[in-house]
Structure 1
Amino acid sequence: MEAGKQGKRVIVVGTRQSALALTQTGQVIDELARISEEHGFDYTFEVKKIVTKGDRILDVTLSKVGGKGLFVKEIEQALVDGDIDLAVHSMKDMPYELPEGLMNGAIPKRVDPRDCLVTREGGGLDALPLGARVGTSSLRRSCQLKHARPDLQLESIRGNIDSRIRKLETEGFDAVVLASAGLTRMGWQDRISANIPVDVCLPAVGQGALGIECRETDAQIRELLSLLNDNETELTVRAERSFLGSLNGGCQVPIGAYCMRGEELEGQSGTYNLIMTGMVGSPDGAVLLKEVMQGSDPEQLGKDVAAALIARGADRILADIGG
């Protein structure tokens, strides 16, 4: 379809209703509006807030709520039903398997994928006192932090970013662990005491990236979203998600991955060497398995890293915790 030939259309964008979700959705809409104007599309955008299961259940750790897609299932159903035209998700919330008829239409440029510490006294992991109380709802984070600092007291903490930070004072935590990307998107970088290096704490699959989901049959939306997609982010996130799919994992099991784009392969324009680290650990941090591999095919690289970890017993670890 030629630019400028589309008729007027109101595009309804589905999102969770947290401050972070609305902020990042607003940022995506601003960029889509810019692209629409640049290419002569007569599109306007509306936001539809949707409450997910993960938003409703705040008094239970994510690992005990059960099921995949805790923060996306209701939004995806609205997309299937035609109540919305596209959905903005944090990529780390998206299960590997998407509902039939839906697809990732765009993965915009990723921001900082690392986890970070927000502490009462400032400083990073090494600065935390012996036996410090650290809040996180993530088995992935607690597993790796316990491995690095077995003395830490890791305790479950749920809620939005602001409420989790407030618990430093109200509930006496020494630190809380959050995604750097969320604080960055909110403009709260100054609240970050220290970023945690990926060699200490591998991020969740797709952390720092957004997934813009749409219907496969919606040609207009697919064309628009293709202009928002970032090729480097797409390649690296595809590798990480292939790893996730091969392990059949979700956000409630201790799986981490991070893929970086390396050099362009000689004589193969647009084809890059990808370097990926994958991790599976036991919830208590006693066992932490990591593999680093390289390749140019993102899906195959993810499968290869998963296979290497399975050969070392990752499948048994995940089976033991219901993964």
Structure 2
Amino acid sequence: MEKLVIGTRGSKLALWQSNYIKSLIEERYENIKVELKIIKTQGDKILDTPLAKIGGKGLFVKEIENALLDGSADIAVHSMKDVPMELPEGLILFATPLREEPNDAFLSVKFNSIRELPKNAVVGTSSLRRKLQLLKLREDLIIKDLRGNVDTRIRKLVDGEFDAIILAKAGLNRLKMTDYIKETVSIEDILPAVCQGIIGIELREDDKRTQEIVSFINHETTMIRTKCERAYLKKLQGGCQVPIAGFSQIKDNKIYLKALLSSLDGKTHIYEEGFSPIDKAEELGKSIAEKILNNGGKEILREVYS
């Protein structure tokens, strides 16, 4: 019996994602046993500080990537929106299953939509991207930081600490925790995070055997969208400290990208969109980023990183 080890965080969502990949592999190959290696990342240890202040999304993947590099794990399963633009030397993003719903979700006990919230309602989110787009819709809202796993965040909502919270709908769908979703937020109201709803499988570049095993999992159009959105993010050099959004769709053999960069004070929102043939997906991502940079984005990034 051949053994494969998946490196994963220990959160409910991370375990759901890893068990999903495990089940796909074991259903396909009777001779392969998949084990989960739960790894506590820096991002899991620091729960009381906004991510932008402690180093951003790489905090959720570094220790798992180290396990790949030292051979104690064969596969890493990530939420792609947590994966930094640059992968360590020797590792590759190899496969992405079909994308889940990428929209954000509005959760509340008492209210049915963002627009129905009373004046000065308290909304919880730890995302700068969500915060600034929410305030563009409703400048009267009071936005407070909300960290912790999905259970913790929903409990804080139910306990009355917040009038509403905003979470990624994909994770709620996967965990079947949709009871308090009152509104699927349209991408016109809040443009999603780059690669939201996408699971990524990261492997060692020289591990051809594992690549051969998991290649069947890859969903081609999801991978094309991933490459487009990540090329856009990479060109902007975007991390957690930067309010960046981006969302691609494929229709009639073309890929369309909507993108946003906001200033930290929320006074400037630079939107760009465009399309290209799907075989030019990465070039589209880069060109949309270039337009944003040339349209005031360079000044915003200089301010963020100064």
Q: TM-score range by the shorter chain?
A: over 0.9
Unaligned 5+ segments in structure 2 are: none
Q: Which residue of 2 aligns with 1:219?
A: 208
Structure 2 matches for 1:64-83, cutoff 5 A?
Answer: 64-83=53-72
The answer on whether the counterparts of 1:68 and 1:95 sit within 8 Å (CA) in structure 2 is yes
3-state secondary structure, aligned to 1:126: coil
Alignment of 1:46 with 2:39, yes or no, is no
Selected match of 1:150 from 139, 145, 156: 139
The answer on whether the counterparts of 1:134 and 1:152 sit within 8 Å (CA) in structure 2 is yes
After superposition, the CA RMSD in angstroms is 1.3
Alignment of 1:232 with 2:221, yes or no, is yes
Structure 2 matches for 1:20-35, cutoff 5 A?
Answer: 20-35=13-28
Alignment of 1:318 with 2:301, yes or no, is yes
3-state secondary structure, aligned to 2:196: coil
The answer on whether the counterparts of 2:109 and 2:180 sit within 8 Å (CA) in structure 1 is no
Q: TM-score, normalised by structure 1?
A: 0.91
Q: Which residue of 1 aligns with 2:156?
A: 167
The answer on whether the counterparts of 2:56 and 2:240 sit within 8 Å (CA) in structure 1 is no
Alignment of 1:283 with 2:303, yes or no, is no
Q: Which residue of 1 aligns with 2:4?
A: 11
The answer on whether the counterparts of 2:55 and 2:240 sit within 8 Å (CA) in structure 1 is no
Instruction: Give, in whole Å, the separation in 1 of the partners of 2:50 and 2:132.
Output: 14
Question: How many equivalent residue pairs?
Answer: 304
Q: Which residue of 2 aligns with 1:119?
A: 108
Instruction: Give, in whole Å, the separation in 1 of the partners of 2:85 and 2:160.
Output: 35
Selected match of 2:97 from 108, 118, 121: 108
Instruction: Give, in whole Å, the separation in 2 of the partners of 1:247 and 1:192.
Output: 32
Unaligned 5+ segments in structure 1 are: 1-7, 264-271
Instruction: Give, in whole Å, the separation in 1 of the partners of 2:156 and 2:56.
Output: 27
Q: Which amino acid aligns with 1:182?
A: G
The answer on whether the counterparts of 1:10 and 1:43 sit within 8 Å (CA) in structure 2 is yes
Post-superposition shift, 1:252? 3.2
Q: TM-score, normalised by structure 2?
A: 0.96
The answer on whether the counterparts of 2:125 and 2:143 sit within 8 Å (CA) in structure 1 is yes
Q: Which residue of 2 aligns with 1:241?
A: 230
The answer on whether the counterparts of 1:157 and 1:164 sit within 8 Å (CA) in structure 2 is yes
The answer on whether the counterparts of 1:35 and 1:227 sit within 8 Å (CA) in structure 2 is no
Post-superposition shift, 1:172? 2.4
Deviations 1:227-267 (A, max 9, x none): 1000110111110000010011123320000000010xxxx
Post-superposition shift, 1:68? 4.8
Misfit runs of 4+, over 4 Å: none
Name the stretch that deviates more: 19-28 or 279-288: 279-288
Post-superposition shift, 1:171? 5.0
Name the stretch that deviates more: 279-288 or 193-202: 279-288
Deviations 1:173-221 (A, max 9, x none): 1001100001001012233111110111111111000011000111111
The answer on whether the counterparts of 2:241 and 2:304 sit within 8 Å (CA) in structure 1 is no
Selected match of 2:83 from 89, 94, 102: 94
What is the percentage of aligned positions where both structures have the same residue?
43
Cα gap change, 1:68 to 1:161, in 2 (>3 Å): closer
Instruction: Give, in whole Å, the separation in 1 of the partners of 2:77 and 2:240.
Output: 18
Alignment of 1:207 with 2:196, yes or no, is yes
Q: Which residue of 2 aligns with 1:299?
A: 282
